[in-house]
Structure 1
């Protein structure tokens, strides 16, 4: 009886230009961006908006165990890939350093414990979050332009809009839900949608450049400057140790 939400995030007006990133002091990364690099705060083209995190905020019942597979966040060319990602509470997140130069991964949640992981070379470190939180900002202190966001939810019903603005939330039990969309510059919106048994519900969110002035994106101060717990690390390409 499971249904699907098929969605689109539209963007009205002219998208602002993203700031250029000067990587001249980090040639290993600069070489991976021969055409130059720019920030990813607003990725909009053709009237669509990417990097919007969409999740079911209200209406679900029951428990949803975390999946066994890892969520991967890679650092390539001094840029986080992806820029926005969703994970479940308890799901393992692998932070990979594919650049082979010093990075640090500083997460500043408010509901979870913060952490700051040093990665001086090619390696992978893992972490999990224990509490739902939308969103968790992550940055690299070594390269100040490196920023990304993690949406932590207690269920598997979430998505991130792609370059074409589209997203899909599948395998939903029939019901009426409150769906929330989050964008780092343009803020939060919610809508209600009803998913019929075996049905597909269409849903569209709309953002515009004018929204930036009024957006209140819920990001708080970290509760602890560092996570001093043990960090598990493995070489890139090796299975994570447990």
Structure 2
């Protein structure tokens, strides 16, 4: 598995591999080009949202550190066979400070998704899959958690809150566990990879449709 570059557009995002060894893949995702300016979120419409932040928070759609490394890039193996069990642990999506956390995550088809409302205000969970069934339900401030499952593999399902239009998250549902999301330093690691030759894909919401083979 050799990683070279992804998202070749007017700007270029480069993925560099720090280590590839038996059963694991790790590296960092670096952005090369003119980065978009940080934009703050206006939460004045809901006093609860505004009061949750000492300073205005930034949009989560493009997060880059001072060294140019990108957060929230989904890196995964394509067309890999997996015969293991569905995890008993839950994937978690929290609504905290009127923002989704995590902004990008992966889970396995059939795994339970725990959706939390840590805010003292009304949210709704509106998922817009293209393969699975659409879902849309309210979470008033007295409803602190709900669980659900997404049964079919589907990449980058958009989840939004119709009450607070700035709230967006992406959930990728796989039929295997060989995926990772880059952290604030652009790092990722995929472990316990079975022997074989694979295509490695990297996805970022600002570069939809561009992948690395």
* TM superposition score normalised by structure 1: 0.75
Which residue matches 1:190? 212
Q: Is contact 2:82-2:176 (8 Å) kept?
A: no
Alignment coverage as a number of residue pairs: 190
- The CA deviation string for residues 164-203 of structure 1, in whole angstroms up to 9 with x for no partner, is 0010000111211111111101233122xxxxxxxxxxxx
Which residue matches 2:59? 39
Q: Is contact 1:86-1:152 (8 Å) kept?
A: yes
Q: Is contact 2:82-2:175 (8 Å) kept?
A: no
Q: Is contact 1:18-1:40 (8 Å) kept?
A: no
Give the CA deviation at 1:65: 2.2
Q: Is contact 2:39-2:59 (8 Å) kept?
A: yes
CA distance in 2, matches of 1:18, 1:186: 17
Point out where structure 2 has 5 or more consecutive residues left out of the alignment.
1-20
- Runs of 4+, deviation exceeding 3 Å: none
Q: Cα RMSD (Å) of the superposition?
A: 1.4
Alignment pair present for 1:71 and 2:58: no
Which residue matches 1:61? 81
CA distance in 1, matches of 2:120, 2:147: 17
Which residue matches 1:144? 165
Point out where structure 1 has 5 or more consecutive residues left out of the alignment.
192-242
CA distance in 2, matches of 1:117, 1:17: 34
Q: Is contact 2:92-2:116 (8 Å) kept?
A: yes
* TM superposition score normalised by structure 2: 0.85
Greater strand share, 1 or 2? Answer: 1
